[in-house]
C-alpha cells in the first residue's frame, strides 16, 4: 500500500505513521480500536494504538475514537503539526465525527479509496497562545451567584457592554455547540468568521454579532469584581484578574478535519440528522 493517499480533489493523507487514539474511560472503545487497527494493518499500514493522554507529533494521520470532546482535544494538539484527523463516534451526538463505531472499518476503506476531503477549520487563540480552541473561547465570572459586566472591544473600538453570566466567542465549527444553546446563529463551518454571543444577558437588546475572523477582540471587566474564568472548548481553563484585558484572535493554525464523501455527511444533512434542524413538528 502506498504511503500517500490522494483524494479526487487533490487532498493528501500520509499513512506512514497512523495513530489510533481512544479515551480509555470509554467502555465502547476497545472493540472499535481493534477493528480499526486490523483494517489498516490488512493493507500493510503501520499503526500505533494510543490513549488520548499520549498524543505524539510523530503521527502523520490521526484516527480519533470518542465523542466530540475527544476530537476537540486532538484537533487542538495536532493543528500546529497539520495532521489530518478522522473522527469515529463513540459518544452521544458526535457532530464532529464521520462515522459510528459500527462503521469504523467502512470509514477506513473510504480513506484508502481516496473518497474523502480535508476541511481546514479556523481556530481561536487567547492569552498569547496559551489557549487555543476549535469550538469556542468562553469568559465567565468566578462566582456562580453574580453576573459580570464585560466590555467587548473590536479593533480597539468599544462595541458592546454586557451585564451577563458570561460571553462566548465562537468559530463557525463551534456555532452548533454552546453558542447555539445560548441563542447564537448556525454558521457554515467553512466561513471565515467569528460569532460573539452573551450568556443570559440582563437586557433585551443584547444580540449575537458575527464579525470577520481577522478582527481583534478584547474583553475587559470591572476591576473591583471577582475573578474571571476563561476556557477553551470547555476543557482548558484559566483564572484571570479583572484588571487584565483578554485578547482573542484567529489562531495561525487550522484544524484539519477529514470528511468522508458520503452524502449524509454534508453539513446540512448532519444538522437535520443530529439537531433535527429545519424539520417541522409532527403532532
Class of residue 109 by CB neighbours under 10 A (exposed 0-12, middle 13-18, buried 19+): middle
Question: Between the CA of residue 74 and those of 25, 35, 83, what are the distances in Å?
Answer: 16, 21, 10
Out of 11, 53, 68, 233, the active site residue is: 68
Cβ contacts of 154-161, under 8 Å, gap ≥ 24: 154/211, 154/215, 154/216, 154/217, 154/218, 155/215, 155/216, 156/216, 156/218, 159/209, 160/196, 160/198, 160/206, 160/209
Instruction: Dihedral sign for Cα 219, 148, 173, 192, please.
Output: negative
Active site residue 11: no
Backbone angles phi, psi at 168, to 5 degrees: -115, 130
The residues annotated as belonging to the active site are 68
Amino acid at each position: 500500500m502506498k504511503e500517500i493517499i490522494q483524494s479526487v480533489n487533490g487532498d493528501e493523507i500520509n499513512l506512514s505513521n497512523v495513530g489510533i487514539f481512544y479515551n480509555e474511560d470509554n467502555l465502547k472503545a476497545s472493540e472499535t480500536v481493534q477493528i480499526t487497527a486490523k483494517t489498516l494493518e490488512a493493507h500493510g499500514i503501520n499503526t500505533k494504538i494510543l490513549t488520548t493522554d499520549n498524543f505524539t507529533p510523530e503521527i502523520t494521520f490521526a484516527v480519533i475514537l470518542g465523542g466530540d470532546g475527544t476530537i476537540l482535544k486532538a484537533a487542538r494538539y495536532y493543528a500546529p503539526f497539520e495532521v489530518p484527523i478522522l473522527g469515529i463516534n463513540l459518544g452521544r451526538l458526535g457532530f464532529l465525527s464521520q462515522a459510528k463505531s459500527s462503521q469504523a472499518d467502512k470509514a477506513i476503506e473510504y480513506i484508502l479509496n481516496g473518497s474523502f476531503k480535508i476541511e481546514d477549520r479556523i481556530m481561536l487563540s487567547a492569552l498569547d497562545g496559551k489557549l487555543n480552541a476549535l469550538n469556542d473561547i468562553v469568559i465567565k465570572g468566578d462566582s456562580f451567584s453574580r453576573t459580570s459586566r464585560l466590555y467587548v472591544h473590536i479593533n480597539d473600538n468599544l462595541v458592546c457592554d454586557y451585564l451577563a453570566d458570561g460571553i462566548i466567542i465562537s468559530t463557525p465549527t463551534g456555532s452548533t455547540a454552546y453558542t447555539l444553546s445560548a441563542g447564537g446563529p448556525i454558521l457554515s463551518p467553512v466561513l471565515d468568521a467569528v460569532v460573539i454571543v452573551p450568556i443570559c444577558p440582563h437586557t433585551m437588546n443584547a444580540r449575537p454579532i458575527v464579525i470577520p475572523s481577522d478582527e481583534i477582540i478584547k474583553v475587559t471587566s470591572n476591576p473591583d469584581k471577582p475573578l474571571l474564568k476563561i476556557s477553551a472548548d470547555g476543557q482548558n481553563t484559566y483564572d484571570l484578574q479583572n484588571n487584565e484585558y483578554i485578547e482573542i484572535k484567529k489562531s495561525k493554525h487550522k484544524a484539519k478535519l477529514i470528511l468522508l464523501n458520503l452524502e449524509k455527511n454534508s453539513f446540512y444533512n448532519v444538522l437535520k440528522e443530529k439537531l433535527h434542524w429545519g424539520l417541522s413538528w409532527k403532532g
